[in-house]
A = this chain, B = another copy of it.
Amino acid sequence: MITNHETPPTRGIQLSEQVARQLTHAIHTGEMRPGERLPTEAALGERYGISRSVVREAISMLRNAGLVTSRRGSGSFVAEVPTVALRLAIPDPSLQSIIRLLELRRALEVEAARLAAQRRTPSQLRRIRNAMADIDEAVEVGADGVDQDMAFHRAIAEASNNTHFTAVIDFYNRFLHHAITVTRTNESLRETFMAQVIEEHQAIADAIAQGDEEAAAQAAGRHLEHAEWRLRQAPTDLLERIEDTGTDTPI
């Protein structure tokens, strides 16, 4: 191995991580702009005086962090929309843990509903109403309508026109899917529950349609409060395991 040519990575920790930090810094500071191609792996190895393996490992970190994308035969490029990773603990399947998630959900969806009432475009409002119709349809066919339910809430998040909300909501929806399903498979309560849910949804959508921020926020808050109550009625032993759909990317 040759001596370092540029900034010698401070000795101590992982070699690849030191290089990764330098590159992320360059991206964060805008030294490398979105879409720009970064030097070839060979060139980076030469510059830092390290082997290609280490360069690849460093770039792999950036890729997993969403800062760059690589195309075989072409090169690695700074991502168009650089992201940072927020790491959250995977909720265990306990009722307590699900309720903690519901609290987060309440925080976000109340405010999302408020913003949606304020900023929704006509087409976004249409999508919200379509989602409601989809739920009705699913219920009539005898399905649980959980996917449609989540689509409804996602449509509201989209109507907030703030990507942060959709990102976080998408995140926890994965873990809530099973919990919601459980409350809908409770045979004895299912009908009354669904009637409640649909009524609550209607209230949210109406408020958003009328552009009444406060009413939308309150309706969303009520819906989430009741959701927690409905969850508590469900037999806790059904919450044993959060299913792993396997369709999502590992990173």
Q: Which residues of A contact B (CB under 8 A)?
A: 17, 20-21, 23-25, 28-30, 53, 56-57, 60-62, 64-67, 81-90, 100-101, 103-104, 106-108, 110-112, 115, 160, 162-165, 167-168, 171-172, 241, 244, 246, 249-251
How many Å from the CB of A222 to the closest CB on chain B? Answer: 14
Distance in Å: Cβ of A63 to nearest Cβ of chain B: 9
| A57, closest chain B residue (CB) | B60
Chain B positions within 8 Å of A17 at CB level: 249-250
Taking the full assembly, how many copies of this chain does it contain? 2
Least Cβ distance of A212 to chain B in Å? 17
Residue pair B89, A86 in contact (C-beta under 8 Å): no
Contact A103 to B82, CB < 8 A, known contacts A20-B251, A87-B167, A251-B64 = no
Chain B residues near A168 (CB-CB < 8 A): 86, 88, 104, 168
